[in-house]
């Protein structure tokens, strides 16, 4: 597996991965299928984006991670292709993400994880994120209450 910075040529695969998770009602705050242009702007090279990396296996993008400013703080998101989750891909991407953020002077990250996303909560805890609060009333745009656990990562 190769972990590398995301390129414009990766946007279609990144979009497919996210939309597959959204399509099955997976544990993401997104409920609406995104266009490749939206994924490019919101997660790769928009004005608030700080870093985007991908995991590539046998020439195929199988995961991606991005960090961007939202509500005044650096927020991270990770998407891994269905069927290959929980195999350490996110952990490997995080190493390169941290390198990029170190160069940008970013010392802290926020991950806002749905409370019903046990694998996501475990992933971020595994890479030293700590819970900062619990928002039991967090609801998706369709009104479903799923709760949310904001987590924070800070490096020395």
Residue 10: give its domain's CATH number: 3.40.630.30
Residue 156: the pLDDT is 61
What's the total number of domains in the chain? Answer: 1
Taking each helix axis from N to C end, the angle separating 118-126 and 89-103, rounded to the nearest 10 degrees, works out to 50
Question: To which residue do tokens 């595994």 refer?
Answer: 126
Q: Which domain holds residue 30?
A: 2-154
* pLDDT recorded at residue 9: 95
pLDDT value for 47: 85
Q: Are 50 and 67 in contact (CB under 8 A)?
A: yes
Query: What averages of pLDDT result for each successive group of 10 residues across the chain (156 residues)?
Result: 94 93 73 88 88 94 92 89 78 90 88 86 88 89 86 83
Q: Which pTM was predicted?
A: 0.86
| Per-residue pLDDT at 136 | 93
Specify the pLDDT at position 144.
85
């Amino acid at each position: 597996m190769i972990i590398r910075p995301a390129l414009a040529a990766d946007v279609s695969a990144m979009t497919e991965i996210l939309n597959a998770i959204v399509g099955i009602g997976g544990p993401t705050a997104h409920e609406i299928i995104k266009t490749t242009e939206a994924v490019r702007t919101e997660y790769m090279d928009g004005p608030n984006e700080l870093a985007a990396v991908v995991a590539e296996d046998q020439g195929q993008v199988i995961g991606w991670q991005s960090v961007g400013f939202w509500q005044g703080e650096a927020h991270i998101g990770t998407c891994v292709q269905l069927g290959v989750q929980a195999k350490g891909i996110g952990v490997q991407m995080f190493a390169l993400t941290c390198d990029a953020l170190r160069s940008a002077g970013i010392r802290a990250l926020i991950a806002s994880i749905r409370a019903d996303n046990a694998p996501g909560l475990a992933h971020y805890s595994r890479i030293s994120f700590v819970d900062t609060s619990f928002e039991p009333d967090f609801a998706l745009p369709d009104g479903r209450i799923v709760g949310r656990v904001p987590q924070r990562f800070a490096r020395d």
